[in-house]
Chains A and B, each alone.
Chain A
């Protein structure tokens, strides 16, 4: 039956295509997890519900705020390079890089880990950074700067516990996120550190 075998081939082609789609979704994230370097970011949380993918925590970082980035070196140059209508600030969707520096105590890993600090911004991916620095790709959104690591999904039954932990935080206690960054500056969130406890899903 020639006809039947053609149908089978067509079916398996479509199936392989669908499998390729499935694996294309996390491909970059897996690469980043394997090849990336771990950094730590200071957060500010917000909290909605994404019904297709279950419960999630929306994260904002210290470096998500324009006020933080405006103080870094290279900001004025970046605005000059991108701001076409003068005085408007950074145009929405501009991609740039934030250079972070590891805290001085990084040689001995502390628990909970200490957040990295922003030191500079740049329009191009910087080369030959010192070992204690890393470049993180950023995108200018309206009101915030986003890094593609703003969502952390968690099981429904643990969510209450984590939200309570976040709510109980005193403002000066650390709530930080461990993030892997690959050489191209792409990043994936790995775990949350709240009050010395690590949450990883």
Chain B
């Protein structure tokens, strides 16, 4: 019961008593029942709390401003002491507040302080390297920072820290990609960049289950998939002049490995629950959409330009993680068909379609690299695959009554039509007709979906 209601009730009750509607006996009973006497106390407490909060914010701002004003004047040791004690105190205070109560404002404040502590960790690392004039690359700083926050996320089983570490590793990886294309010896942190696909899965997927966080799972896999693709594409360019066979195998892997793996990914493979299986399938479909869209362009099928020619031994290490993913994929498909009560290996219609489109993709890419250049066939083929993917999304959306899937399907089809229209030089009238058809199709499709969806 809200204070506001009780406050209004007290006003009304006083009016009723004044008008003679109720006598003082009944008024006292109502006052007792709704505890009118407490109202003043509550209001005073809230007022005090508000003042405390406001004062706290102003105090905090004052401290920050004071520190900012004197920062340059402080000696190195004073700065180190300040930052390290800020780091320890915000983490410790945050932890005890968060632990004292798993609900309510203390827990929220505790989480905020712990997150702040993670930011202060970064400030500490950055400042340490600055004060000693270290000229290491910035991406290394992000990796070390991410590692620290990862440890805390595991230790406290805290989703916000887990998402934060995923973002840090992502930033570190993105900044470090140029390292992969630099000639020369391999340093420890370069190895981290190169092996990011495996490291991301090993460090972040268990964390996602540990924290029951869909976000960590999704972002972690995106990082793994992205880094795996960077590795494979780099490999294609590296071997372009050396071995057609290696290029073909790598290209087929780059196109099919990720969707094949994510489509059959099941938490039960790690003895975990199935909460995230849907996300993996969604990622597989998103990957296929982007892949088919990309491969349906004309220019993609031009000649490979060699960027790097010098080959070093650690280039072969990238095959290690791709191979591990491949073995895991095969294992997952075998397990996938054996689910349910049937004694035989069997898969559903949609899985069959995904498998078929992956096989077609593999064959087209292989053919193009090994047997003969089939640019025209390949472009037609991938346009057809993209179109069929859009249609099957629509079909699934209607069967399952999922509005978002429906719009994804529509968006894919419209995007394909538009892109082809812009890519190939067509007349204005034709463009007008296409726009007209797209507009009408979207309206009719949308209305029809809302009327006909089965759930």
A-side residues, CB < 8 A to B, are 4, 7-8, 10-11, 13-15, 17-19, 21-26, 29-30, 33, 50, 52-54, 56, 91-94, 142, 146, 148-153, 155-158, 188-189
Contact = CB atoms under 8 A, between A and B. Distances in A.
A151 B133 contact: yes
A52 B183 contact: no
A21 B138 contact: no
B303 interface: no
Q: Which 7 A-B pairs have the closest CB atoms?
A: A93-B184, A29-B132, A14-B155, A151-B135, A92-B184, A93-B185, A10-B155
Contact of A26 (B84, B131, B144): B131
A33 B76 CA distance: 14
A45 to B, nearest CB: 14
Given A29-B134, A53-B130, A151-B135, A17 B148 contact: yes
A50 to B, nearest CB: 7
A197 B113 CA distance: 44
B148 A25 contact: no
A25 B128 contact: yes
B133 A188 contact: yes
B135 A149 contact: yes
A15 B92 contact: yes
Given A21-B148, A22-B87, A152-B133, A53 B126 contact: yes
Contact of A13 (B124, B130, B155): B155
B95 A153 contact: no
B134 A18 contact: no
Q: What band does the interface of chain B fall in when counting residues whose beta carbon is under 8 Å from A?
A: 35 or more
B128 A15 contact: no
Contacts of A19: 84, 87-88
A25 B151 contact: no
Nearest to B184: A93
Nearest to A7: B99
- Of A7, A30, A156, which is in contact with the most chain B CB atoms at under 10 Å from its CB? A7
B191 to A, nearest CB: 14
Contacts of B154: 14
- Of B92, B125, B182, which is in contact with the most chain A CB atoms at under 10 Å from its CB? B125
B101 interface: no
Given A17-B148, A22-B121, A189-B133, A10 B156 contact: yes
- Of A10, A52, A155, A158, which is in contact with the most chain B CB atoms at under 10 Å from its CB? A52
Contacts of A56: 130
18 contacts: A7-B99, A10-B156, A11-B152, A15-B152, A18-B91, A18-B148, A18-B151, A18-B152, A21-B125, A21-B144, A22-B124, A25-B125, A26-B132, A30-B132, A53-B130, A91-B183, A92-B183, A93-B183
A142 B184 CA distance: 10
Contacts of B92: 15
Contacts of A25: 125, 128-129, 132, 134, 144
B285 interface: no
B132 A14 contact: no
Contacts of A14: 151-152, 154-156
B118 to A, nearest CB: 9
Contacts of B183: 91-93, 142
Nearest to A155: B72
A20 to B, nearest CB: 9
B435 interface: no
B147 interface: yes
A177 B311 CA distance: 38
B434 interface: no
Interface in B313-331: none
Given A18-B152, A22-B125, 20 more contacts: A7-B99, A7-B156, A8-B99, A11-B95, A11-B152, A13-B155, A14-B152, A15-B88, A18-B121, A18-B151, A22-B124, A25-B129, A26-B131, A26-B132, A29-B134, A52-B141, A91-B184, A142-B183, A151-B133, A156-B72
Contacts of B144: 21, 24-25
- Of A8, A93, A149, which is in contact with the most chain B CB atoms at under 10 Å from its CB? A93
A30 B87 CA distance: 21
B99 A4 contact: yes
A17 B151 contact: yes
A14 B148 CA distance: 8
B423 to A, nearest CB: 38
Contacts of B95: 8, 11
B130 A54 contact: yes
A153 B136 CA distance: 13
